[in-house]
Structures are given as structure tokens and as C-alpha cells.
Amino acid sequence: MSQPLPDDISRLTVAQRLELIGQLWDSIADEASASEMPEWHRQELERRLALADAAPDRGIPWEQVKARLRGQP
């Protein structure tokens, strides 16, 4: 269920609200630090990176992935 927008925000144009979203997102990213990541997340990322580095030819180009998702050969 969405919360109603405060009056001052609802008076902004769509472009201004999108800019505000960007500013809010940036402010969150600025405050969040890598140390907030749980250790098991870091370990899983390292494991997956090691697998990708060990066999770079096993990856699938993004365009092929998108085509498969769209049901295209």
C-alpha cells in the first residue's frame, strides 16, 4: 500500500520528482558502506567471481540471454 505524497512533493513536476529520487538514492549509497554487507554475501560474491575468472568462456553474452528470455533462438 503506497503512502500519500506530502503536499510539497506532489506539487513537483515528474522531472523534479525523478531528480529527487536520484538524490535520495545517492544519499543512501553515500551512507551505506561495504562493511554493512554480511560476510556470507562477500564470500558468495568472491566464490562466484572466482568461478567466472576460472572459466570466462562459459559465460553467455547478455544479448543471447535476452533473446532466450524472449523465446528467440
Per-residue pLDDT tens digits for 28-57: 877 776 567 889 999 999 999 999 999 989
Mean pLDDT of 19-30: 86
Rounded to whole angstroms, the Cα distance separating 9 from 13 reads 9
pLDDT confidence tier of residue 68, bands split at 50, 70 and 90: very high
Q: Is 70 exceeded by the pLDDT of residue 15? A: yes
Work out the number of other CB atoms within 10 angstroms of the CB of residue 67: 12
Show me where the domains of the chain are located.
7-69
Distance CA 39, CA 43 (A): 6
